[in-house]
Amino acid sequence: MSNKINTAIDMYTQIDEKVKALEKEARKLRQQKSKLETYIMNTIEANNLQDKEIKVNNSTKIKYNTQVRKEPMSQKYIKSGLEDYFIKNFSNKLSQSRCEEKAAEIYTFLANNRKDKPYSQLKIIYT
């Protein structure tokens, strides 16, 4: 191989090692942040300060915020949703087991007909 590719590979592996070290440090910081967030939120709730903004310094405030999110469209959710749909809408025409079969049939169709999306990447193998 040429010198250019060897140099590029060396740089690639060095950068990969640095990224892994930074990710490890970031994981530790996220864990610390999560623990502090839990403590702060529990304190705010205990003192009924959910509607207050807490001034940290001249340019920063913290505000307690609540959001509602939908659960993810997981395979488990889709399967149970299809079962519920058939039972609620067709239970007068089909037995419960037949409703579950129809839901499973559609779920299997959807799961098996997903398109494959290939991607390429380099993998570093340490020996």
pLDDT in tens, 26-52: 999 999 999 999 999 999 999 999 999
Average pLDDT over residues 70-82: 93
In angstroms, rounded to a whole number, what is the distance separating the alpha carbons of residues 4 and 10? 10
CB 83 within 8 A of CB 98: no
Q: pTM of the predicted model, to two decimals?
A: 0.66
CA 115 to chain centre: 21
Name residue, tokens 């499973």.
104
Residues 79, 83, 89, 95, CA torsion sign: positive
Q: What are the tokens at 8?
A: 């590029």
pLDDT in tens, 11-28: 999 999 999 999 999 999
Residue count of the chain: 127
